């Protein structure tokens, strides 16, 4: 008798724990609000890659040239993601005031005014033709 009660209890507990896996469209988290955006993921991935490259460089696994190339590549990705996040934030939070547009240099990451044709930090061209 006690074995049968124990088996029933285990089955009921298992069904209770497994029920959310079989529920469709029930109450839960909205993936849009929980999952980070594409740009947020890209920024975090770029930061992690830069951190890993710095560690590899400090432990002498990367040469100076390889480290510089990796850092520049992932810094450009991070800058692109940050610029897109800033643009979407400005769009969402736009009030009656006109927000000044800001460009970011893909090479050094420095902010540049929207009308600037060259980066004030490194001098690289910021136009669409570059």
* Model pLDDT for residues 48-89, shown as the tens digit of each residue: 999 999 999 999 999 999 999 999 999 999 999 998 888 887
- Residues 35-41: contacts with CB within 8 Å, 24+ apart? 37/85, 37/88, 39/81, 39/82, 39/84, 39/85, 39/88, 40/81, 40/85
Residue 63 lies in a domain: yes
At residue 119, the pLDDT reads 80
Q: What is the pTM of this model?
A: 0.46
Residue 124 lies in a domain: no
At residue 29, the pLDDT reads 47
Comparing 4-18, 39-53, 66-80, 93-107, the range with the smallest average pLDDT is 93-107
Helices 64-92/38-58 angle, 10° precision: 160
At residue 97, the pLDDT reads 45
Mean pLDDT for the chain overall: 79
Residue 84 lies in a domain: yes
Residue 15 lies in a domain: no
Please, what sign has the CA dihedral across residues 96, 100, 101, 106? negative
Residue 47 lies in a domain: yes
Residue 81 lies in a domain: yes
Total domains in the chain come to 1
Domain residue limits at 51: 36-93+101-114
């Amino acid at each position: 008798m006690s074995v049968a009660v124990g088996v029933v209890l285990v089955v009921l507990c298992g069904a209770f724990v497994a029920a959310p896996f079989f529920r469709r469209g029930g109450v839960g988290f909205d993936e849009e609000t929980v999952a980070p955006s594409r740009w947020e993921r890209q920024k975090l991935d770029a930061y992690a890659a830069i951190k890993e490259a710095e560690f590899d460089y400090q432990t002498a696994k990367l040469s100076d040239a390889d480290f510089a190339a990796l850092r520049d590549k992932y810094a450009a990705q991070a800058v692109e993601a940050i610029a897109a996040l800033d643009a979407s934030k400005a769009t969402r939070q736009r009030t009656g005031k006109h927000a000044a547009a800001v460009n970011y240099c893909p090479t050094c990451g420095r902010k540049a005014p929207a009308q600037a044709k060259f980066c004030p930090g490194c001098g690289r061209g910021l136009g669409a033709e570059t």
